[in-house]
Amino acid sequence: MVLKAAAVIASPVFDGVFNGDATVEKTCRLIEEAASNGARLIVFPETYIPIFPWWVYMAVSNLKQQELFKQLYKHSFSVDSPQIKKIAQVCKQTGMVAVVGLNEKDGHTIYNSQVFIDQGKILGTHRKLIPTGGERTVWGRGDGSGIRVFETSAGKIGGLICYEHSMSLARYTLYSMGEQIHVANFPGANFKSQQRDRNKVIDAIIRNLAFEGQLFVCNSTTTLSEEEKNFYLELVPSNQGVLEAGGGIAAIVDPFSNYIGGPMENQEGIVYGEIDFDKIILAKHFVDCVGHYSRPDVFTLLFNNRRLTPVERVSQFNHVFKSGLNQEVEQAIEVLKKNLHKVQDDEMVAAIEDLARLI
């Protein structure tokens, strides 16, 4: 199978205030544009909706941070919100698969999430496992239930967010699930206070990932607009000369670490690349890191994919139910647990996890 993929580099809509609704509209337009150019898959930057909170890396007073968080919360959306359903509807109309970076609101916590959508169906999310540095003041932590590879009409797709890509065990877990296309997304800006060239770091990450996993990588980042830059300079005037507009890189990489789309840097746009799945076969003929090039007799990985909740309810009937399980039922549940990553329905996954806790 061969398909055309699209990776976005773009700024969220910012007109002096956060504007989640307007950024959703822009997301829909970009999906329609990519579809009109023959793409089947499109990926968007980290927390593209409504914005990436760059202020966590600046000298911002606690009172200002509280106000900024309040505004971010008000413009963030839950996965079942009308705004995300609107994006899903555009994907249905265009026949697109989309992975969208979202400040995901769940209760009164915000998560840094990737939302996976296949032709109108919201498949699920991946929440960033470890918010980096000051990001911990904004986002909650994901858990193993979000480390998933989704079976889509555009192939087997998984993803990680920004410096999660330093977590080699997370990468390997996705490879083990048969990942064919990896979605990487980052925030992009010319933020010169950090001791690294962000675009060069991203380039190294995504090309190594493609080689290591023998898969395709679609990478998307934001690029900082003049309006957003001016907002932060007004917020923290000492950032003059440190924070500049631009930055960011969008690219598509094949399993041999070659760019087949982009890279496009420091400007808004969409890059396209042809994904030929036969290249994965050829790459894995030489090195299959979860097959013939693995050594499970030397190295093994323990993966906890349970969805974590702050309250576990233990029924008075659990003991009775457990004691009444016969051997065939116990074996069937064990098979379900081992194959849980293949289940795409979130309610079914939760039901299986609840059942598994009883034995």
- What positions carry a catalytic annotation? 46, 128, 162
What Å distances lie between residue 26 and 49, 118, 226, 236, 256, CA to CA?
10, 19, 17, 28, 33
Q: Which two tokens stand for residue 112?
A: 């840094």
List 182's β-bridge partners, or say none. 158, 217
Say how far apart CA 129 and CA 136 lie, in whole Å.
Answer: 11
Say how far apart CA 148 and CA 124 lie, in whole Å.
Answer: 9
Asked if residues 194 and 57 have their Cβ atoms less than 8 Å apart, the reply is yes
Q: Is the dihedral of CA 116, 121, 122, 126 positive or negative?
A: negative
What Å distances lie between residue 42 and 3, 148, 218, 277, CA to CA?
11, 18, 9, 17
Say how far apart CA 201 and CA 165 lie, in whole Å.
Answer: 11
DSSP structural state of residue 50: S
Q: Is it true that the peptide bond before 263 is cis, omega within 30 degrees of 0?
A: yes
DSSP structural state of residue 18: B
Asked if residues 41 and 218 have their Cβ atoms less than 8 Å apart, the reply is yes
**Which of 280, 277, 157 is closest to 210 using CA atoms?**
280
Strand, coil or helix: 332: helix
